[in-house]
Structure 1
Amino acid sequence: MKRLLALLTALLLCLPLCAFAGEKCVIDLISDPEAEYAFREGAELLEVGFPALEGCDGFILRCGGAAMLVDCGTNVQAANVAAMLDAMGIDTVQHAFNSHPHNDHITGFEFLPEHITLERFYITFPDDWNSTMRSAMQHIRQKNIPWETVEDGYVFTLGGATATVIQRPKKSFATNDRSAMLMVRYGQRSLLLSADVELGAQNELLRNPPEGGLKADILKYPHHGVAKAGWNFFAQIAPEVCIATSKLKQISDTVKDCKKKGVPLYSTAHTPLLLRTDGEIWVLEEMPLPQSGE
């Protein structure tokens, strides 16, 4: 009997995660440009823009007339964030959020062009955490941008969508594992922006999961795809699609891992992506833009 149970367990672990998934909710126009879809008539859409930021994080959320900028890459690549904001017709960002104070996530906020207004800046670490944070906060103060510190459980509202902070800042963790994820929900659909959490934080999240769990339709892969997403952590999320911000050839282990699990993995290193949802389906497509900073 023990041998039989062990064999069944091994077989289950070999099955792609998608084998346990229900009806697919992501219309993938990258793999199938001719795929047909229809949003609910008159539905408000949540849009999520992924600028081309190689090895950096920066994401744009918009719903109900409110916009949120989650991280902003480096000083060099902030122009690509600005280009996507312009393409989406956004010149005012109500919520500018930093997941953690590393150069490839926060420095770009200092280099956004003057025509883009940040109404409020949100941090998840002490404002003097390191030199990178101190530089960013000096800029925020010089620009007289209101700011505040938020923590695990804080909820941002954009129209009918929400973005909830998930953070496990244990004292023993390095900065990446202390970084703040965001669970974005709209209607029945969900997206997990997993910042740079590595195995320490992933395991802590399994021991102490957030209210509502970790399940998400789409996963922004941890730490640009460089860090491993542990099997149990990935299984709890059970994503239909993954997105990484590194070149795929630089994260071959992650590529192999997603392929093994039967989950498509896309890179935003050089091609911006756009996600849209009406709360019932996601539509994923490329959004080519003029780029700088390559």
Structure 2
Amino acid sequence: MRIIENLILALLLALSTTACGGEGQSAPSAAPAEGALEVHYIDVGQADSALILCGGESMLIDGGNVADSSLVVSYLADQGVDSLDYVVCTHAHEDHVGGLSGPLSQYPAEHVLAPVTEYDTKAFQNFLKYTRQQGLEVTSPSPGDTWTVGDASVTVLGPQKAYEDTNNTSIVLRLDYGETSFLFTGDAERDAEADMLEAGAALQADVLKVGHHGSNTSTSYPFLREVAPEYAVISVGEGNDYGHPHEETMSRLRDADVTVYRTDLQGHIVATSDGESISFAVQKNAGVPTNPTQGAQADHYIGNINSKVFHRPDCSGLPAERNQVEFANRTDAVNAGYTPCGRCKP
């Protein structure tokens, strides 16, 4: 079985040029200039992967799903990566750890980090296998741990405690380069966010990698106020089954006047810092609206008592009158636990 698994992985990696190197699929920029930091948010669909390059050193945070392994390997090759100083699995879910096996099988690594050292899935076991084939062991960092990637410094901010929910075990990292900063949150949800706030973690950052693909379970108002980002990046798959990014999260980002970048709309996204300012380059659709307002507010909204969805009063999907409840404004509907209709987008 192990021989078969290795042959399958080798075949996937051999096809990586086709998977990621075709027309329109290249990264929006090449390796960083001397004296610069680059953060690459790799488009791995409904998953997460980011590559940090600075001063000839590199850190890979997550690798997408198992099926993204060859894409990530090809992306690293396009950036001239020949080794990985740090490989970070933020948490053990397949859409974060699955694609790390390819890079670990192709590139020598110095340090491999994850919040746990055992997890009973094939994706995580393969992650462990390729780590150990390099003579390394997975280590679990603690809040306050620091290291450097070139001239950039990395600080662990979470998880602050043990959690049953795997999302909340996500390693949360703050990356500082000169006067600029980036925050990587994995899939950390509100409980983990609240614990970081209570611990007084240094959360303020210029760029926020939005938690859990823009789910409404993350990026709470208190957390967003503390981070106070100028920019946000959402790693999310086009037309995904989860409805990510959720409108509640996008509304909070609009309220905070945050400029949003999205992999589902813009492909690979690269943020470049010179230590004083940050610029962005995207693979496609540079001018696409990434967080448009939902139009003028209606004078009232109609909720469906059964589905807990609320609508504009002119929506074609209104429920039968006996199942309707009226809200004076959008805020009242959201506070009552209702979610916006995907058709009329109230």
TM-score range, shorter chain: 0.7 to 0.9
Q: Which moved more, 1:240-249 or 1:192-201?
A: 240-249
Q: Which moved more, 1:106-115 or 1:176-185?
A: 106-115
Mapped to 1, the partners of 2:268 and 2:198 lie a distance apart of: 35
The answer for unaligned runs of 5 or more in structure 1 is: 1-41, 289-294
SS class of match (2:67): coil
Shift of 1:109: 1.3
Match of 1:129 in 2: 119
For the 8 Å contact 2:211–2:218, the answer to whether it is kept is yes
What is the letter of the counterpart of residue 58 of structure 1? S
Q: Taking every aligned residue pair, what percent have the same amino acid on both sides?
A: 25
Mapped to 2, the partners of 1:202 and 1:119 lie a distance apart of: 29
Matched, 1:266 2:261: yes
Q: 1:197 aligns with which of 184, 188, 195?
A: 188
Structure 1 residues 93 and 205: CA distance shift in structure 2, 3 A: same
Larger radius of gyration: 2
- 5 Å-filtered alignment, 1:33-182, equals 44-112=35-103, 115-125=106-116, 127-131=117-121, 132-182=123-173
Mapped to 1, the partners of 2:238 and 2:214 lie a distance apart of: 8
Mapped to 1, the partners of 2:149 and 2:103 lie a distance apart of: 22
Match of 1:216 in 2: 205
Higher RCO, Cα 8 Å, sep 6+: 1
Q: Which moved more, 1:45-54 or 1:131-140?
A: 131-140
What is the letter of the counterpart of residue 214 of structure 2? G
Shift of 1:114: 5.0
For the 8 Å contact 2:214–2:236, the answer to whether it is kept is yes
Q: Which moved more, 1:185-194 or 1:239-248?
A: 239-248
For the 8 Å contact 2:163–2:169, the answer to whether it is kept is no
Shift of 1:276: 0.8
What is the letter of the counterpart of residue 260 of structure 1? D
Structure 1 residues 252 and 168: CA distance shift in structure 2, 3 A: closer
Mapped to 1, the partners of 2:129 and 2:138 lie a distance apart of: 12
For the 8 Å contact 1:101–1:130, the answer to whether it is kept is no
RMSD: 2.2
Q: Which moved more, 1:161-170 or 1:66-75?
A: 161-170
Regions of 4+ moved over 4 Å: none
For the 8 Å contact 2:40–2:269, the answer to whether it is kept is yes
**How many aligned positions are there?**
245
Match of 1:231 in 2: 221
Shift of 1:135: 3.5
Mapped to 1, the partners of 2:222 and 2:141 lie a distance apart of: 28
Mapped to 1, the partners of 2:169 and 2:105 lie a distance apart of: 31
**1:114-169 CA distance string (max 9 Å, x none):** 543333312222x1233343342123213434543322211120121011111135
What is the letter of the counterpart of residue 129 of structure 2? Q
SS class of match (2:204): coil
SS class of match (1:206): helix
Mapped to 1, the partners of 2:143 and 2:109 lie a distance apart of: 22
